[in-house]
Structure 1
Amino acid sequence: MSDEIAELRRRLAEAEDTLRAINQGDVDALVVGEANDPQVFDIGGGADAYHAFMEVMNVGAVAIDQDGRVLYANANLGGALGLTHNSLQGKLMSEVAPAPVALAVDRLLVPPLVGPVSTEVSFERGGEQLHFILAATPLRLSTTLGVAVTFTDVTERVRAEAAEQSERAARAVIASANEAVLVCDRQGIITHANGAAHAVFSGELLGRVFAEAVPLVFPDATGLITAEDIVQMAIQGTAVQGVEAHAPNAPKVKDYLVSAAPLQIGNDAISGCVVTMVDMSQRKAAEKQQLLLMRELDHRVKNTLALVLSISSRTLHHEDTLEGFQKAFTGRIQALAATHNLLAENSWTNLTIEDVVQSELAPYTSGAAGRLVTRDLGRPMAPRAAIAFGLVIHELATNATKYGALSVPGGQLTVQPLPPREGDDRFIIEWRESGGPPVKAPTRNGFGQTVIARSLQYSATGGAEVEFAPEGLVCRIALPLEDLH
């Protein structure tokens, strides 16, 4: 045992002496191995040994002196920088290397360089972005101090990481999109589909041919375009934008706006396509509503013009002077306009009986509190009933201003519904005047009475009756229940 320990101590002493001699530059060569198979390594000032060592390295390598001048660069480095082997020797890195590389090397050479340091650098060569990790280690070549720098190409790794990050970003974008998004490969097979697509189409989508998983009909294409055509056009490089399609097998929404675009990453070839499908149900509903409104507007304009012509003709027939015609006709058209304004403000819906009464009587009762009493008139009414009812109220108000309760300071109007009678399909509103001059029945019927009697007779249950009671005029106006909500 003591002999083995002594032998180990001897070998350790020899190794320490060898390392000390190498560090001090006293050894030119080192022999390693058995006596019959020795390997000789040149340690001294000769350059051939480290030249050969650098050339067999599978990464770019360069030896640089303290001034940044190239002592030796291997062939791999010349290829990485796009330079010839000889053009690097003896040159400053700042003279031959791309600016980002030269700056990175300068940062690595900042003294004191006491151990391995590294940095990452990227530069463009031939229109391509390259990425390298530079590692610098102090180097002694005989009496010369310098730095050995290795260039490890990590371009593929960086590209793979960028591609992976882009893939994650693309998946996130697709997943968060409100519209259905489906990605297909070059064979038209669905490889990705977001939650909106799965919600729209029942069954498994991934791995299926798009045209089979998502059958579409294009109404405006006269049968010449199919879902398969849309996908193939995109795969071949032709984008398809905003084509209206019908999905007969979709469980809920049936109408979509379909777009398809080629899937191309960077300068790579087209690898598939991306299909987006935007829900058109709201748009279709809006278009239908707009069409209905346009037809309704056309219908109402025609009816209104016919009503104006009738009012004009009948007013002219019942007035003796031009001034009388102008005053009566203007008042009736203003009453018609007032009701139309109310309807427009309420989008032709939810206009109440109270709204019409207050609007028509406002010119006559404003500033006189208590002259108009209304009760329980909050029921909404249809537009045709509102127009006819407005004309009736206008005629009653005009008559009350001339001859009735509104012609004297103390007169009062009460407008309220009568209690319903069993089986009656009418809603009857009573107009009652009080506090005015004694009432007498007219000797002849004017156009105002015609308006009151006939305006609501478009329905069998509509109409109005006037009672010339001495204490005050009473009018009972029947509104069809079909026009009340």
Structure 2
Amino acid sequence: MVAELRRRLDEAEETLRAIQEGEVDALVVRPSDRQEEVFTLEGGTASYHAFMEAMDLGAAAFDSKSRLLYANKTLRELFNLGVGIVQTADLQDALDDKSRETVTGLIRQAGEAKRTAEIRLVGGPQDLHLQVTAAPLRIGLDTGLAVTFTDITARVRGAAAEASERAAHSIIASANEAVVVCDLDGIVTHANAAVAGIYSGNPIGKRFEDVIPLVLLDTTGLLRASDLVALAVGGASVQGIEATAPEAPRVKDLLMSAAPLRVGSDKASGCVITMVDLSQRKAAEKQQLLLMGELDHRVKNTLALVLSISKRTASTEDTVQGFQSAFSGRIQALAATHNLLADRSWSSISVSEVIAAEIEPFIGQSQSRLQLEGVDALITPRAAIALGLVVHELATNAVKYGALSVEQGKVQVRVSLQEGEDFMRMDWLEVAGPKVAPPTRKGFGQTVITRSMQYMQNGGAELEYAPDGVRCSIRVPIEDVVNA
């Protein structure tokens, strides 16, 4: 269509040039609906008027003072001027200010050589793009101008469509998501580089459902890939459909969207399908479910531990006040370790942090009373909770009866890991305290110390009431020592 318009325009311009320069005396016109006609260009304007009427282009003749002499039927129809004689003012009124200025300037400049410009004719059912050509013309003894108006709307729209398509190609190519364009039959016409993660071959020219076999989730099997194409081609947009691509080389979890493809009209000429990689989101969802399950498990275990502490504390205390003090102290010790672990998203934690959190309520800022060695080892949350309870009971006993009950008393903690052993050793030593004697009865605190680390066979603790100070050797299972 565009090529044909250009050919016809070139022919018309060449004809006008030949007339202007006196190279022809007559013209033969072959209209499609009647016999060919011969027009002579000699002897006045009548023949020239007849020739202009036979032209498919809008044409007008102006005298040397830019007054309109004649406008053919095609021009009158193009500008919706009706029948009869057309005046210069009529032609000017049919143009907007910008187009009128363009045409007037063109006529003024074309006195010696041909001039060409483009204008836009608005106000009709649709805007028209016209190419206006003005050239000097001799009609008989008079000198004037021949002006033609060629409808190039199809060419302009074709160029705009090409530019739009190029822009669309650029957008599709630069998109991070996989984008596929299909025609009305569901044949893939365009695909960007991201599609390679879903289909390893060249998808162009193949049916979409054959290129990317999909399983659409939560659609009870009624909706398939071909249905997405059919819906989009039919004018409906589909968004947010989760799907899996079992045969995809890399990306298997997808979020599908399909929309009609409209270029230059309201009618769909195909569809655009976007496939967003859900791999990371799916992995995050799995991690979230895992964390929720871990949290549920952890909460249940903690509640069971709290219940056990409450029951065992009550069985070893003689008064309500004694129970409240012992129970609240143990729950606070449990909470202190939980707070540390929460700050680290329940990852590994150092032994020194656990000891500092549990013993701080007893010694405050008097860190000189606590001597630590080799306590930078990292342990898992499970071991940290158990160790926190053990340290709390040891500190409580030291404050009541042991080294921390006197001003000069100190506690030494040494952590060591021997090659070949299946546990990490932590030794608690009380020095410079009062003389120690074994308790007359076994309390719950002793049970906490000796049993808390026994959740695995290679864990545990031995408590010794030596006269010069309490000693406790704690074994942390090697499985709970990070990077051991």
The TM-score normalised by the length of structure 2 is: 0.84
Would the aligned equivalents of 2:433 and 2:468 in 1 still touch at CA under 8 Å?
yes
Equivalent of 1:60 in 58, 61, 67: 58
What's 2:41 paired with? Answer: 41
What's 1:121 paired with? Answer: 119
1:404 paired with 2:399, answer: no
Partner SS state of residue 150, structure 1: strand
Partner SS state of residue 220, structure 1: coil
Q: Determine the C-alpha separation between the residues in 2 that align with 1:364 and 1:87.
A: 112
What's 1:177 paired with? Answer: 175
What's 1:304 paired with? Answer: 302
Q: Tell me the CA shift for residue 339 of structure 1.
A: 1.0
Any residues of structure 2 matched to 1:349-428 within 5 Å, and which? Answer: 349-420=347-418, 422=420, 424-428=421-425
Q: Determine the C-alpha separation between the residues in 2 that align with 1:87 and 1:371.
A: 116
The letter of the residue matching 1:478 is: R
Q: Determine the C-alpha separation between the residues in 2 that align with 1:145 and 1:276.
A: 64
The letter of the residue matching 1:41 is: L
Q: Determine the C-alpha separation between the residues in 1 that align with 2:76 and 2:39.
A: 30
What's 1:5 paired with? Answer: none
Deviates more, 1:241-250 or 1:261-270: 261-270
Cα displacement string for residues 44-67 of structure 1 (whole angstroms, at most 9, x for unaligned residues)? xx4424423433444222234688
Would the aligned equivalents of 1:62 and 1:149 in 2 still touch at CA under 8 Å?
yes
Cα displacement string for residues 85-119 of structure 1 (whole angstroms, at most 9, x for unaligned residues)? 43733534332334443232234356795543333
Q: Tell me the CA shift for residue 452 of structure 1.
A: 1.1
Deviates more, 1:173-182 or 1:322-331: 322-331
Would the aligned equivalents of 1:69 and 1:93 in 2 still touch at CA under 8 Å?
no
What's 1:210 paired with? Answer: 208
What's 2:458 paired with? Answer: 461
Deviates more, 1:245-254 or 1:313-322: 313-322
Partner SS state of residue 357, structure 1: helix
Counterparts in 2 of 1:261 and 1:322: CA distance versus 1, 3 Å: same
Q: Tell me the CA shift for residue 200 of structure 1.
A: 2.4
What's 2:322 paired with? Answer: 324
Any residues of structure 2 matched to 1:29-178 within 5 Å, and which? Answer: 41-42=41-42, 46-64=44-62, 70-86=68-84, 88-108=86-106, 114-137=112-135, 147-178=145-176
1:451 paired with 2:478, answer: no
Would the aligned equivalents of 2:39 and 2:50 in 1 still touch at CA under 8 Å?
no
Q: Determine the C-alpha separation between the residues in 1 that align with 2:78 and 2:39.
A: 32
Q: Determine the C-alpha separation between the residues in 2 that align with 1:31 and 1:482.
A: 106
Partner SS state of residue 187, structure 1: coil
Counterparts in 2 of 1:340 and 1:419: CA distance versus 1, 3 Å: closer
Counterparts in 2 of 1:73 and 1:373: CA distance versus 1, 3 Å: farther
Partner SS state of residue 165, structure 1: helix
What's 1:16 paired with? Answer: none
Cα displacement string for residues 341-385 of structure 1 (whole angstroms, at most 9, x for unaligned residues)? 111111111222222122222333442243223233333322222
The letter of the residue matching 1:80 is: L
Would the aligned equivalents of 1:94 and 1:102 in 2 still touch at CA under 8 Å?
yes
Would the aligned equivalents of 2:182 and 2:190 in 1 still touch at CA under 8 Å?
yes
The letter of the residue matching 1:457 is: Q
Q: Tell me the CA shift for residue 279 of structure 1.
A: 1.3
Q: Tell me the CA shift for residue 147 of structure 1.
A: 4.6
Partner SS state of residue 152, structure 1: strand
Equivalent of 1:438 in 435, 439, 443: 435
The letter of the residue matching 1:453 is: T
Q: Tell me the CA shift for residue 124 of structure 1.
A: 2.8
Counterparts in 2 of 1:54 and 1:31: CA distance versus 1, 3 Å: closer
Would the aligned equivalents of 1:136 and 1:147 in 2 still touch at CA under 8 Å?
yes
Q: Determine the C-alpha separation between the residues in 1 that align with 2:401 and 2:117.
A: 103
Q: Determine the C-alpha separation between the residues in 2 that align with 1:215 and 1:450.
A: 62
Q: Determine the C-alpha separation between the residues in 2 that align with 1:140 and 1:372.
A: 116
What's 2:289 paired with? Answer: 291
Number of corresponding residues: 452
Q: What value does the CA root-mean-square deviation take over the aligned residues?
A: 3.0
The letter of the residue matching 1:284 is: K
Would the aligned equivalents of 1:63 and 1:149 in 2 still touch at CA under 8 Å?
yes
The TM-score normalised by the length of structure 1 is: 0.84
Cα displacement string for residues 245-287 of structure 1 (whole angstroms, at most 9, x for unaligned residues)? 1212112222211222222213253222212211111111111
Would the aligned equivalents of 2:216 and 2:223 in 1 still touch at CA under 8 Å?
yes
Q: Determine the C-alpha separation between the residues in 2 that align with 1:132 and 1:31.
A: 27
Would the aligned equivalents of 1:30 and 1:41 in 2 still touch at CA under 8 Å?
no
What's 1:263 paired with? Answer: 261
Would the aligned equivalents of 2:39 and 2:47 in 1 still touch at CA under 8 Å?
no
Partner SS state of residue 221, structure 1: coil
Q: Determine the C-alpha separation between the residues in 1 that align with 2:24 and 2:436.
A: 142
Partner SS state of residue 89, structure 2: coil
What's 1:193 paired with? Answer: 191
Question: What are structure 2's unaligned runs of at least 5 residues?
Answer: 1-19, 27-37
Would the aligned equivalents of 2:217 and 2:242 in 1 still touch at CA under 8 Å?
yes
Q: Determine the C-alpha separation between the residues in 1 that align with 2:153 and 2:23.
A: 38
Q: Tell me the CA shift for residue 148 of structure 1.
A: 3.8
